[in-house]
Every structure is written in C-alpha cells, then in structure tokens.
Structure 1
Amino acid sequence: MPLRRILPAILALVAFQCATAQTASAPASPVTVQANAAWLQALPFGDRQDFEDAHRGLVARFPEGTIRGADGRVAWDFNAYAFERADAAPATVNPSLWRLAQLNNEAGLFKVTDRLYQVRGADLSNMNIIEGDTGIIVMDPLITAETARAALALYYAHRPRKPVVAVIYTHSHVDHFGGAKGIVDEADVKAGKVAVIAPAGFMEEAISENVLAGNAMSRRAQYMYGTTLPRNATGQVDAGLGKATSRGTVTLLAPTDLIDKTIDTRRIDGIDIEFQLTPGTEAPAEMNLYFPQLRTLCIAENAARTQHNILTIRGAQVRDAKAWSFYIGQALARYGERSDILIAQHHWPTWGKARINEFLSDQRDMYAYLNDQTLRLMNHGLTPTDIADTLRKLPEPLASKWYARDYYGSVSHNVRAVYQRYLGFYDGNPAHLNPLPPVQGAKKTIEWMGGADAVLAKAREAYARGEYRWVAQIGNELVFADPANTAARALQADALEQLGYQAENATWRNAYLTGAQELRNGIRRGAPGGTTSPDLVRALTVPHFFDYLAVRLNADKSAGKAMTLNWNFTDLQERYAMTLRNSALTYLADAQAAQATATITLDKATLDRISLKQLTLPDAIRDGSIRIDGSPQAVVSLFGMLDTFDGYFSIVTPQAAP
C-alpha cells in the first residue's frame, strides 16, 4: 500500500523545489507593472530594521553551495535564489514579496545571545542551539537529516564540540522534527543519553494529521509550494515561511518526555526552561518556551514575520484563530516584561522588550481581528466571498507592519477559513446547495453566453483591460467546457500568470504560476513530490492503517460482498475484528469475531514492510510472515477492492471520476 500517498505534510515539505517549464513565461503586462510599482508607495520600504535583524549576529555562512546526501543528491541549494540579490524587484514579482524573499536568503550560523545560536536558511525552518553546562540542546532539527547534519556541523566548526543532550520539538509539523536522526543517534536516545521533549499529543498529531486526505493534499501542495516551478523571477521566489523545503531523509525520534501541563518547567543541563502549552493554535500539538537565564522567549510558530494560515491552501483542518490569539496574549502577559529577545521557528529574532511587546500585541490582535470581524459580518448575513471582499486588509496601523503582511496566510483566504470553521462550506443560498458539477456547469454557462468563440473574444478584451481575476474565472469555465480548446487554455494561463506576478502572498503566487504552467504544458508526472519516510511509516498505528484501508475501499467493487477478518499482531499484543458490509470497512479494537472468514496473524514490522512496498501480500503469505487461518482468498480479494490514488490528478482542467 503506497503510504507515501497518505502523508501530505511530509510529501509537501520534502518536495524538492526544482523544475523548468517547457513553455517560456510571459513578461509582466503593463497593468502588472503599474500594479507592482504602486506597492512601493503603499508600504514603508524605507524601514530597514528587518534587514539589520536578519543579519545581526552572523557567525559564518555555510562553506559549500549545496548540502548533499550520502548518495550525492542535492538536499539544499544555497545558489538557487542567487537571482534575488538585485535590490529592485523585477516587474514579475510583487515588491513586498521580493523584500521578504531577500530577507529569507540570509543563511548561516547566527549568535542570538550568549549560549543561544540559530541556524537559518538551510531549510524552511530554523534550528536553535542552546549551550548547556556539558552539552547542547537542539530545538527543532529541520525537515531532513541531511540539512540538520549540515547545520550542526556548521555550529561545531565555530563552537566547542559538546554532545547533544536533548532535542526539543516545539510542535508536530514535519519541518520541526524530520531531521532528528541527522544530529542524534537513536541508540543514544534509547540508552538515556539524549532526552527528546515534545508537547503532549505530539506523536499522534505528527503522524495522523491529514492522513486520510493525504493524496489530495499532496497534489495541492505542489501548487502551494511551487514544487515544479523554476527558480527565477517568473517562477518560484519564496515560500513565505522560508525559501523552500529540503529534499532528503525525513526521520523521527519518538519523545522520551512529554510536556502535558499548561505551564511546565524543566532544568536541562543547567538551562531552566518554562514550557507553555498552546494546543489548537498553529499546530494541534504546540508549545512556547521561555528561558529565564537568557531572558528569551521562543514563540514556536505561533508568531512569525507574516500573517500565518488559519487554513492552509493545500487543505487541512481549520485552525482556531480565537485560541491562537488567546495563547499569544497569554505569552505576552506572562513573558513580555521578562523578555529581551524573542525567537521563533521561522525568520529572524526580535531584540528589545518594547519591540517584543509590540510584535506580540500585533500578532494577538491580528488573529482576534480575523476571527471576530468574520463572525460580525457573518452574523450580518454576508457570505465568505462577501466577507473577503469587505475586509480585504487588516486595519491600520497593523496593515503596514511587515510581520502582518499576507506572505503565507492572507486576509482573503483566512476570513473564509473562519467562516468555514463556524458555518461550513454552505453559504445559506439554496442556489448553491446542490450546484451542477464543474464540467456540466461550465458547458451550460459557455453555451448560454454565446459559445466558446464569443466568450473567448470577450475574455481577451477583459485581459487587455487588466481584468485578470475575471479572465481567470471565465477562462476556467472555457477550459472546463472544452479542455482541448488551446486558445482558452493559453488565455487562462496568461491571466493566472499575471495574478501570480502581482501576488504578495508566496503560496498564492506559486499556485497561480503552477496552474499556468500546467495549462500550457500539462502535468509533470514524475515531478519531485516527496519520498517515503520509513520512520514515519513505522510510527503509524494499526488503527491508522485500517482507517486508510477504509478510505481506499471501492464501493462498486465491494458492493454485495461481506466478510469478517480477525487481525492478531503478535509483537504488539493487539487484536482487531474487521467487518466488510454494505461497502463499508469497520473494525473494533480488542475484539475477535466468533465466526471469522479468516484470521490474519502477523507482526507490525511485516505490515510496515508491506506499507513501504518492500514486501507484497502474496509473498508475505508464502514466506510465512503472515499466517492466514480460514480463507486466504478472502484476504486477497479485500486488497483487490482497494483503490490506488493518482498523485497527479488534474486541478486546472477537469478530473474524470474514478
């Protein structure tokens, strides 16, 4: 079973950012040139404080231009964004996004304060190193073992070579734990030489978040991160939280110590740490950390140099903006007057108590505003799109703060996410309750508007006027009505491209430009999309596996069929009773069916090998790794009823039903 299809966060974040479009990109149109130039007057570009902070404390750059794995493959390329060294933004990039892209290019080892160092620019996230009395504490070891290993090597090249005595995961997203085995030997963890500390619920959330919708999210993440776009001024320039995501080996070391109190304290190798749990904020399992001896607050990913996502555009469960605001406010009240330095797991630090308090106050207010104003307008009867069009931007002076800009999240999609959290997908208008599916609706729309040629002519006129949002909308109808209409595809691509050039938001730009690329050149099957991580597969529980089997069950193939299967895992001492009935696959833990069609006995390692495609089910039966009492044919037939998902389904053109 291809479990690489069910780990979207992993697949999205290990996607290597490299590709070249087959069709050359168009230049910025006069309307786009004018729109982008206007940004220079709208925002305080003369404020260079962020550039000073991003460079402050630089100890050393990485000595090589690339980070490579043992097999020679490039895990990270420091030269990929060399084109961003030009001061002025090209016409094809929003100047505000260009500014952030330049800031995110600051890569190397930085001294934040005595005993606290930070490695930035070697992955999407930061790795922080705290120097204890006898060893070092590493906080958030990046995405892959290759980049984490290189980051630690850079630190050791300029600081005493003390052993790692503890690893801390601030939260359950892969860019904050995936490189663990690049800095720590698992044997040392098992021997008690290294502590691994994480918030309560970490393992469950790290493995299960978005599992069941993984294939869809993985495909959508290619758009969000621009994984198939070239790295140039008409392609991918940034990812908002950082440049991109590393390509390498995603690993996982299970925590040895969970923080499960609202406020908890530890002394680790002479360093006092106060942990503040912040569940349900940027991640389901997340925590801030305060270091009293260093007068430093780590805000994890609860505050960043951007407005964050309440709902990421790759898709996920909606986050709670109200809780997010509350926990930032709690951190401000508890630590604001005691902090001289604030660090986060993306971007650069903030120095000075007054600036820290302003930053946290603004971030708290931002998420409160998005939540409360959406609810206000919702209760006035406005729809999600109405609300997005009404609010448009944050209030001043917050809107002019660089760290509140729409680089990763945006007011537009975040207010729609708040609406979804409270009221769901339906806006209350019965006309939208059961609309025609996209292809049928598009065909009728284009026919009613006088046919494709008439619509295309009007769309070209709208494009010439710079009405790109409308051209993208009506162009989509043209393409869905007739995907073979090359003129419609070209015009739709042109409109999406100009929207991408104008976008301040990095993920919006990536999505627009990826859509344009696929309209012109088709889907790049086989494009880098991620690698299976054995550590993460092994961390999946048996219920995770069964839940995903149920998602893959094809209702047509299983119609009229019924069976009961008992599963016994000898190493885990776990038993399950599974039932197939009415094209639904269900199971009970700690149970066995009295009249089972078959009983399957195996260990979890065998299940993992099958999941990693290292072993097939028939081979496992033949070599005795799996013992089946009863009907082996029933077990084989069940697996024959399972769908295999296409990781390259269509997005900007119609997708046929399976």
Structure 2
Amino acid sequence: MTHHTPADYLAYVDRVWEGQASPVEHLSGQWSDLGLIPVGERTGLFTGFANVAVFDTGDGLVMVDSGEWRTAERLYRAVRDQSAAPLTTVVFTHGHLDHVFGVHPFDAEADRDGAVRPEVVAHEAVAARFDRYARTAGYNEAINRRQFKQPRLTWPTEYRTPDTTYRDVLTLRRGDLTFELVHARGETDDATWVWIPELRTLCAGDLFIWSSPNAGNPQKVQRYAEDWAHALRRMQELGAETLLPGHGVPIVGADRVHRALGDTASFLETLVEQTLELMNAGATLDTVLHTVKAPEELTRLPYLKPAYDEPEFVVRNLWRLYGGWYDQNPAHLKPAPEAEIAAELAALAGGAGALADRARDLLAEGHDRLAAHLAEWAAQAAPEEAGIAGVRAEVYEYRARRATSTMAKGVFSWAASESRATASGRGLLEVLSALPAGERESMGAHIVAGGRKPVAE
C-alpha cells in the first residue's frame, strides 16, 4: 500500500496543473489516506469525488460542504484525528447530494455531548431543491441510474435542511476568520461561493470542477451559463491565492487562480455569444447545435476538457433558457408519436430490418449519429426483434466508446444494454451487472460508485 505525504499531494497538484497527471486520482480517493490535507494556513482539505474544506477559526471549526453519505464517517474521523474543536458551522455551496450528506456524524456527536449541533448555512433555494428532490425521487433515481450506469442506485427523500439561509450575500465572522458567502447561478440556482479574505482563499463549490462547466447536462434542470461566467469574473477580481474547487485538486498561486477562473469564464462566454448571435439571426436549433463550437485552445486545457458535460449540451441549455423548447421545426411542434413515425419509415424502407441494415452500414462508414437515428427507428418499429436489437446495441456501444463526456457515455451505454437485454433474452439488470466494474463506474475524469445513494448531479 502506498503511503502518501502532504508534500507528495502538493507535488501531484502541480503535475495536474501542468497536464502531466490526471485529476482522476484525486476524484477516486487515491489520496484519502492523508485525511485532512493541509493546503494553507488553518486550512485542511478532505479529498475524494467531492471536496470538503475545513477551517480552524481559533474558536471552533467551519466546514465548507460535507461530502456524500459514503464518506461521512471517514470525513468525521479525518477531522477528529486533527482537532477536538467543535464544528460550529457548515456551509453548503449548493444542494447536490455529493455535497450535503456528511453532517450527520457531527450532529450525532453534538447530541451525545449535549452540545449545540453545527449550524448549516446555505442559499435560500437549497431547501426548495430538497423539496423538489423528494417530489421527483423516482425520476431522479431513473436518470441517475442511466447517467452513471448504476442499476441499484436509489434516491433519498430526507435531507439535512439548512438552519440559516440568505438571498444575495452573507458575511459570517467565526473566531479569527471571515467567511463571505455570495450567491450565484451556474450549474444550480442555489450556488454559493465563499471568500475567506484573511487566508486569500476561495471556495468555489461546483462553479469550478476541473472539467468543462456542467452547464448542459441533458437529463437535469436548467443551468445558467451566462450567470456562471459573471460569477467567475467576480471571483477573478478577488486576487485569491488558493482556489478550493467542488471537485478536483486545489489551485495554488494567484496567477494560476486568476487564469483558471478567466479561462472558464471565457469558455462559457463564447458559447453564449455564438448561440445568441445565431438565435438573433433566426437560426434553428439544429443549425445552432451544429455551428457553435468551443475554442480548441480552451478545451485542451487540463481544467476544461469535456469529460463530464460537453459544449453541445451547453448550447441546448442556452436555447432552452433564451428560446424555450420549440426548435423551429414545425413538424416538432405537435409531432406524431415516435412509434408511428418509425413504422411509416420502416414501411417505406422495406421493413425494420432494412433500416437496421442501413444503420450498420452507416456505422461502418463512420456516420454514427445518422446510424443512431436509423437504429432507433428500426427498434421502435420492431421492438421485440432480437436481430434489430443487436444492431441498436452495436450502434450505441460504438457511440459510448467514442463519447468524451459522462453524460453521453451514460445514455449511450444504457441504451446499448437495453438492446443487449432484448437481443439475449436476459434482464436489463443482469446485463448491466455483467459489465466490468470499471466500465460500470467510469465517468471519464469523474468517478462515482453506486449503492444506496447517488453521489453526483
């Protein structure tokens, strides 16, 4: 077993910045043996898929985010291995499940000792998010199973609600430190970034994640790319010397922090500008999707690779935000049922088998997007035919292998598994369970593990 030191970790952080190492090591918990890693004065970082920052104020501890339920006990032990001081405050940077399920052991400690539980502070929209999660638990369970290829994943309906909420800005004074909380809309509508001026340290939450911004996510609620860019520009003005992201390694050094925030803002700004220019010119969604591109000089950067989300999905979300759901194709305004369209096309082609055969030919020619349309129509026209299901599986397995983002990999892999189940006569759960563990849990640059609770959105 490798025994790391904090110096080893900081050297690794530097290699990640230079593009010589991958943030996957951090995200998958390979540095977890270090517990709380000192990354600055009075500052400890608990690493894993989602980060937790712990600050010693001189009068108790303040924690920014709390991780997910699987790491809650390990977080508690890591904190208590270094300090017996009471945890007075926990700030949720937003309400995603991988950031809000680590408070329970500290609540339990306070109850045992007859002490006051930690005060949880968050934006006022976090409670509304938790209410929505409870109301849509079945839907969230289904889409997260698909996105992360976790067929046994279940979605929680009970949450640690905030004790104190704010709307725009909130300043907390704890011991010798000041925590300036600022609301932003980005990946979520309830985001908070935290500035600790005495330490020149910025906790960005999921406004910075060592991947191209998760501003598209095809299965989730609205994202806010332009507001996100504004927040990044505002943070850039602070002159922070350390940036602690919601996911991935810290960025140390004022120049590096300034550049990372600026590059990420530029990435979002160019997608917004290109999309709005085309929308204002009367372009259809189809034209916008196949025209707007993120600059290669940005997507090549180690912190902006499209490993989780991708620019095409961000463009769709921008269209939804600024233009609604109508894509300017009149046939899509009140469409026929997809199964009827598939049956008609199959009849014109000479049967569903002809569509499937053409899909396979197109796939061999490298036209995987077009092949997917034909394979989908063939499968809808003949949903129980094993041979056609096999072709559909081939198409989506190919697309999953070529996909760069977690979003695309998850959807394509799930579709392929559905068809493999049909083609083989096995159940979907059996097919998914037979996948290699690495394939089931791979998220490109992000790693999650399934089980009773999901860990990311």
TM-score, normalised to structure 1, is: 0.58
1:223 aligns with 2:140: no
Q: Is the 8 A contact 2:306 2:404 kept in 1?
A: yes
1:289 aligns with 2:171: no
The amino acid that maps onto 2:356 is L
User: What is the CA-CA distance between 1:103 and the residue it aligns to?
Assistant: 5.0
Q: Deviations over 1:553-585 (max 9, x none)?
A: xxxxxxxxxxxxxxxxxxxxxxxxxxxxxxxxx
1:425–1:294 CA distance, 2 compared to 1 (3 A): same
Question: Partners of 2:8 and 2:414 in 1: how far apart?
Answer: 30
1:175 aligns with 2:98: yes
Q: Deviations over 1:211-267 (max 9, x none)?
A: 5554334312211112139xxxxxxxxxxxxxxx9x89886333233233x333221
**Match in the other structure for 1:138:** 63
Question: Partners of 1:532 and 1:99 in 2: how far apart?
Answer: 26
1:351 aligns with 2:252: yes
User: What is the CA-CA distance between 1:396 and the residue it aligns to?
Assistant: 4.0
Secondary structure of 2:303's counterpart equals: helix
1:254 aligns with 2:171: no
1:377 aligns with 2:301: no
Secondary structure of 1:184's counterpart equals: helix
The amino acid that maps onto 1:128 is A
**2:76 corresponds to which of 152, 162, 169:** 152
1:266–1:529 CA distance, 2 compared to 1 (3 A): closer
1:143–1:350 CA distance, 2 compared to 1 (3 A): same
User: What is the CA-CA distance between 1:200 and the residue it aligns to?
Assistant: 2.6
**1:424 corresponds to which of 309, 317, 324:** 324
Question: Partners of 2:266 and 2:41 in 1: how far apart?
Answer: 32
Q: Deviations over 1:630-658 (max 9, x none)?
A: xxxxxxxxxxxxxxxxxxxxxxxxxxxxx
- Where in structure 2 are the equivalents of 1:117-128 lying within 5 Å? 117-121=44-48, 124-128=49-53
The amino acid that maps onto 1:281 is G
Q: Deviations over 1:362-412 (max 9, x none)?
A: 111222222221111122222223222112x31242232122221222111
**Match in the other structure for 2:211:** 306
**Match in the other structure for 1:388:** 289
The amino acid that maps onto 1:417 is N
Q: Is the 8 A contact 1:54 1:103 kept in 2?
A: no
Question: Partners of 2:187 and 2:80 in 1: how far apart?
Answer: 32
**2:41 corresponds to which of 76, 89, 114:** 114
User: What is the CA-CA distance between 1:465 and the residue it aligns to?
Assistant: 2.2
1:474–1:171 CA distance, 2 compared to 1 (3 A): same
Q: Deviations over 1:13-43 (max 9, x none)?
A: xxxxxxxxxxxxxxxxxxxxxxxxxxxxxxx
**Where does the alignment leave 5 or more consecutive residues of structure 2 unmatched?**
1-5, 13-18, 422-426, 434-448
1:441 aligns with 2:347: no
Question: Partners of 1:386 and 1:137 in 2: how far apart?
Answer: 49
1:396–1:482 CA distance, 2 compared to 1 (3 A): closer
Question: Partners of 1:205 and 1:228 in 2: how far apart?
Answer: 24
User: What is the CA-CA distance between 1:190 and the residue it aligns to?
Assistant: 9.5
Sequence identity (%): 22
1:514–1:248 CA distance, 2 compared to 1 (3 A): closer
Question: Partners of 2:55 and 2:11 in 1: how far apart?
Answer: 15
- Where in structure 2 are the equivalents of 1:310-321 lying within 5 Å? 310-316=215-221, 318-321=222-225
Secondary structure of 2:326's counterpart equals: coil
Q: Deviations over 1:289-313 (max 9, x none)?
A: 1112211111111122112232422
The amino acid that maps onto 1:269 is G
Q: Deviations over 1:125-154 (max 9, x none)?
A: 11211122143222211121x411212213
Question: Partners of 2:113 and 2:194 in 1: how far apart?
Answer: 22
Secondary structure of 1:307's counterpart equals: coil
1:255–1:397 CA distance, 2 compared to 1 (3 A): same
Question: Partners of 1:460 and 1:174 in 2: how far apart?
Answer: 40
Question: Partners of 2:453 and 2:147 in 1: how far apart?
Answer: 20
Secondary structure of 1:161's counterpart equals: coil
Q: Is the 8 A contact 2:53 2:65 kept in 1?
A: yes
Q: Is the 8 A contact 1:342 1:349 kept in 2?
A: yes
TM-score, normalised to structure 2, is: 0.82
User: What is the CA-CA distance between 1:358 and the residue it aligns to?
Assistant: 0.8
Question: Partners of 1:399 and 1:311 in 2: how far apart?
Answer: 15
Q: Is the 8 A contact 1:57 1:112 kept in 2?
A: no
Secondary structure of 1:297's counterpart equals: strand
- Where in structure 2 are the equivalents of 1:39-78 lying within 5 Å? 55-56=9-10
Secondary structure of 2:179's counterpart equals: strand
Question: Partners of 1:269 and 1:445 in 2: how far apart?
Answer: 70
Structure number with bigger Rg: 1
Compare 282-291 and 351-360 and name the one that shifted more: 282-291
Q: Which has the higher helix share?
A: 2
Compare 182-191 and 456-465 and name the one that shifted more: 182-191
Question: Partners of 1:189 and 1:422 in 2: how far apart?
Answer: 52
Secondary structure of 1:183's counterpart equals: helix
**Match in the other structure for 1:640:** none
Question: Partners of 1:472 and 1:135 in 2: how far apart?
Answer: 57
User: What is the CA-CA distance between 1:162 and the residue it aligns to?
Assistant: 2.5
Matched residue pairs, number? 417
**Match in the other structure for 1:323:** 227
**Match in the other structure for 2:15:** none
Question: Partners of 1:474 and 1:289 in 2: how far apart?
Answer: 49
Question: Partners of 2:155 and 2:275 in 1: how far apart?
Answer: 40
1:57–1:127 CA distance, 2 compared to 1 (3 A): farther
1:273 aligns with 2:179: yes
Q: Is the 8 A contact 2:89 2:120 kept in 1?
A: yes
Secondary structure of 1:366's counterpart equals: helix
The amino acid that maps onto 1:276 is V
The amino acid that maps onto 1:322 is E
1:190–1:172 CA distance, 2 compared to 1 (3 A): farther
The amino acid that maps onto 2:271 is L
Question: Partners of 1:223 and 1:180 in 2: how far apart?
Answer: 28
Q: Deviations over 1:486-530 (max 9, x none)?
A: 111111111111111111112211221121112112432998987
Secondary structure of 1:478's counterpart equals: helix
**Where does the alignment leave 5 or more consecutive residues of structure 1 unmatched?**
1-51, 59-95, 230-244, 534-658
Question: Partners of 1:532 and 1:296 in 2: how far apart?
Answer: 31
**Match in the other structure for 2:420:** 520
Q: Is the 8 A contact 2:359 2:371 kept in 1?
A: yes
